[in-house]
Amino acid sequence: MARQSDGDTTRLDDAARAGWLYYVAGNTQDEIARKLGISRQSAQRLVSLAVSERLIKVRLDHPIARCMELAAGLSDRYGLALCEVAPSDPTSPSITIGVAEAAAAEMERWLRRSEPTVMAVGTGRTLRAVADQLTAMECPQHRIVALVGNTKADGSATFYDAVVRISDRVKAPYYPMPLPVVARNHEERDLFSVQSSVENLRALASRADIRFVGVGLIGGPEAALLVDGFITEEENAELRAAGAVGEITGWAFDGDGRLIEGLTNDRVTSLPLAPSSGAPMVAVGMGRARRTALLAALRGRLVSGLITDEVTAEHLLKSRA
């Protein structure tokens, strides 16, 4: 990777200062220009650079009435203990914008606790985006534990392992699950499960105070388990033929939220979903492609919490419960 030049570093420093003056201190761009001794156009470019380089994270700190109504409706219909609905950008192609920031805020509420907390986390693109939105902090009293394996059958690691990223952001001990999401056969799965390190990790995860998971679709060519190399095209097609529409930490389920019998579910190494567990299971997700999977997870009471966006929430409420 190319090293940043001194000029690049200085420009980022200037951008960070301009971003702080604008978003935190509340200065206008004219005031920033005067304080930094630059033109208004240069101040505007530096503020924009601070955002594009993710030097500044902006969160909405006022609940929108319509979002609150949608959250209340979803909570009532599906018995959710927690529901947050973020505003939607109708023209954005992003599958994380809004929900990543909202989920990061919810995680931070748990991480700011003084008493030791065990936070269990799934993996995937959405949760990785959530991790990137976390405020840097020092949380040595907490533990971050994986609910799902982080490797493929060939031993290569997933790029979207959220546990490591969260731990890095909040400086808390982390416990990854060094297993393939789906074992090659029953014997391999059973061999993994009796390892003392895996037993200890599972015991810790089972005592989690809060759990955050993504919800992925099953069946289409964009299915994350397929795209990321955890299952084959043949296995993906078999799951779809069996009625699978979604998955949580590798566990495939049908349109009513019932786990698929056999197939890859017989070889998943993740912790059982255990929706009746006392710890909240909070699903984080949005977007047209995930609607069916999210609705099925709600129908089957596989999750007890949901963080989504306005458009997805409206669709979920219009659909049959």
Going by C-beta distance under 8 Å and a sequence separation of 6 or more, which residues neighbour residue 109? Answer: none
Average pLDDT, the chain: 89
Mean pLDDT, to the nearest integer, of 227-256? Answer: 94
- In single-letter form, the type of residue at position 230 comes to F
Going by C-beta distance under 8 Å and a sequence separation of 6 or more, which residues neighbour residue 254? Answer: 242, 243, 244, 245, 260, 296
User: What pTM value is reported for the model?
Assistant: 0.84
**Percentage of the chain modeled with pLDDT above 70:** 95
Which residue intervals of the chain bear CATH 3.40.50.1360? 65-318
Model pLDDT, residue 145: 96
86 within 8 A of 113, measured Cβ to Cβ? no
Which residue intervals of the chain bear CATH 1.10.10? 6-52
211 pLDDT higher than 90: yes
List 144's β-bridge partners, or say none. 119, 174
Provide the angle, in degrees to the nearest 10, between the axes of the packed helices 40-52 and 6-19. 100
How would residue 43 be classed by pLDDT, with cut points 50, 70 and 90? very high
Model pLDDT, residue 93: 86
How would residue 222 be classed by pLDDT, with cut points 50, 70 and 90? confident
How would residue 7 be classed by pLDDT, with cut points 50, 70 and 90? low
Lowest pLDDT segment from 191-195, 239-243, 250-254, 265-269? 191-195
Instruction: Report which of residues 184 and 251 the model is more confident about.
Output: 251
Model pLDDT, residue 8: 63
- The CATH architecture assigned to 6-52 reads Orthogonal Bundle (1.10)
1 pLDDT higher than 50: no
Going by C-beta distance under 8 Å and a sequence separation of 6 or more, which residues neighbour residue 113? Answer: 142
What is the strand order of the sheet 210-214 is part of?
A: 82-86, 305-309, 281-284, 210-214, 118-121, 143-151, 174-180
- In single-letter form, the type of residue at position 303 comes to V
274 within 8 A of 199, measured Cβ to Cβ? no
Rounded Cα gap, residues 35 and 50, in angstroms: 17
Model pLDDT, residue 2: 42
Helix (H, G, I), strand (E, B) or coil at 177: strand
Instruction: Report which of residues 244 and 9 the model is more confident about.
Output: 244
How would residue 6 be classed by pLDDT, with cut points 50, 70 and 90? low
65-318: which CATH topology?
Answer: Rossmann fold (3.40.50)
63 pLDDT higher than 80: no
Model pLDDT, residue 3: 43
